[in-house]
Amino acid sequence: MRRTASSTTAAEVTETADGSSGRSSARLVAALEALTRAEEGMGLAELSIAVGAPKSSLLGILRSLVRLGYLAHAHGLYRLGPRSFRLAADMLAVRRFPSLVRPVLQDLHARTEETVFLVQLDDVARRVTYVEGIDSPNPVRYTVPTGTTRPLYVSAGGLMLLAFQDPAFIDTYLRSVSLDPLTPRTITDVGKLRQRLQTIRRDGFAVSLGETVPGAAGVAAPIFNADGSVTAGLLIAAPIERFEKQLPRFKRLLQDATSIVSGITPPPAAAGPRPPRTRSGRTARGGD
């Protein structure tokens, strides 16, 4: 989602109104709704009737929407523009992304018999969010409640997401974050963390061994968006004693799984931490 562009757009459109901002906003929405039902487009007079607004008042709103790409204007007719379709696609992605990834996550779970997660970047809070998860059937396992968020500098999922951000994001994050240790294995030196991130980006995987929860291990790989950016990934978590023997196989399985779903652009995770909820009624005990 393009939060900055969206907020600027609303301000620009409101500034063109000759009445109250509330009336202007209502007319803006009414015009867009009318055009969603008009495949061939609508002229100013027709839109004025549909919206119930004078042509002189409506024209400024329509011109702003055309300038911003939400409408197109040709041969006297207004139609939905490319940014309207992009916004609709982003809204659909909010609902569809986890459901599209779920079959791949289920297959990964069946092949590993370990706990697997879909993780996503919350780029506002700058944390990793555990969006979807399936617990291992093994009696000794590590789980994280769905909706849990953690710092990016710890856990395989967080390190993977951080490593694949642009340099400006990484620099800003490392200047502002306090690298508080969660276990004795947590990296708390900025220089070492930078080297770690470079290795993760080169290898395409992030591996964490007891850095978030003692005895828990994880490996994560990125899901690439259509534009090459990374805002989500898949994660396998297990007790260290089982994990280390299976790590090469886990990497191959993750590579296969992420290649299937890469190109499906996910939305950013909701800003700020969300209340965790456990899966299958079990109490979570951690995870990496």
Q: Give the model confidence (pLDDT) of 50-63 as tens digits.
A: 999 999 989 999 99
pLDDT digits (tens, 9 = 90+) for 235-250: 999 999 999 999 999 9
- The reply to whether 20 and 150 lie within a common domain is no
Query: Is residue 238 one of the residues assigned to a domain?
Result: yes
Note down the domain range covering 204.
Answer: 94-261
pLDDT digits (tens, 9 = 90+) for 129-174: 999 999 999 998 888 888 899 999 999 999 999 999 999 999 999 9
- The reply to whether 124 and 75 lie within a common domain is no
**pLDDT at residue number 2:** 35
**Average pLDDT score over residue span 35-56:** 92
**pLDDT at residue number 182:** 94
Q: Is residue 67 scored above 50 in pLDDT?
A: yes
**pLDDT at residue number 17:** 38
Task: Give the domain CATH number at 161.
Answer: 3.30.450.40
**Average pLDDT score over residue span 22-30:** 87
- The reply to whether 76 and 98 lie within a common domain is no
Task: Give the domain CATH number at 68.
Answer: 1.10.10.10
- The reply to whether 116 and 158 lie within a common domain is yes
Q: How many domains does the chain have?
A: 2
**pLDDT at residue number 22:** 75
- The reply to whether 143 and 205 lie within a common domain is yes
Query: Is residue 52 one of the residues assigned to a domain?
Result: yes
Lowest mean pLDDT among 33-42, 66-75, 191-200, 274-283: 274-283
**Average pLDDT score over residue span 193-217:** 96
Domain boundary (46, 80, 114) is at 80
pLDDT mean across residues, the chain: 83
Query: Is residue 114 one of the residues assigned to a domain?
Result: yes
Q: Is residue 4 scored above 50 in pLDDT?
A: no
Query: Is residue 285 one of the residues assigned to a domain?
Result: no
Query: Is residue 50 one of the residues assigned to a domain?
Result: yes
pLDDT band at 91 (very low <50, low <70, confident <90, very high): low
- The reply to whether 117 and 212 lie within a common domain is yes
SS (H, E, C) the chain: CCHHHHHHHHHHHHHCCCCCHHHHHHHHHHHHHHHHCCCCCECHHHHHHHHCCCHHHHHHHHHHHHHCCCEEEECCEEEECHHHHHHHHHHHHHHHHHHHHHHHHHHHHHHHCCEEEEEEEECCCCEEEEEEEECCCCCCCCCCCECCEEECCCCHHHHHHHHCCCHHHHHHHHHHCCCCCCCCCCCCCHHHHHHHHHHHHHHCCEEEECCCCCCEEEEEEEEECCCCCEEEEEEEEEEHHHHHHHHHHHHHHHHHHHHHHCCCCCCCCCCCCCCCECCCCCCCCCCC
**pLDDT at residue number 124:** 81
pLDDT band at 8 (very low <50, low <70, confident <90, very high): very low
Percent of the chain with pLDDT over 70: 82
**pLDDT at residue number 94:** 55
**Average pLDDT score over residue span 257-281:** 56
- The reply to whether 52 and 118 lie within a common domain is no
Residue predicted with more confidence, 110 or 12: 110
pTM of this prediction exceeds 0.75: no
- The reply to whether 32 and 158 lie within a common domain is no
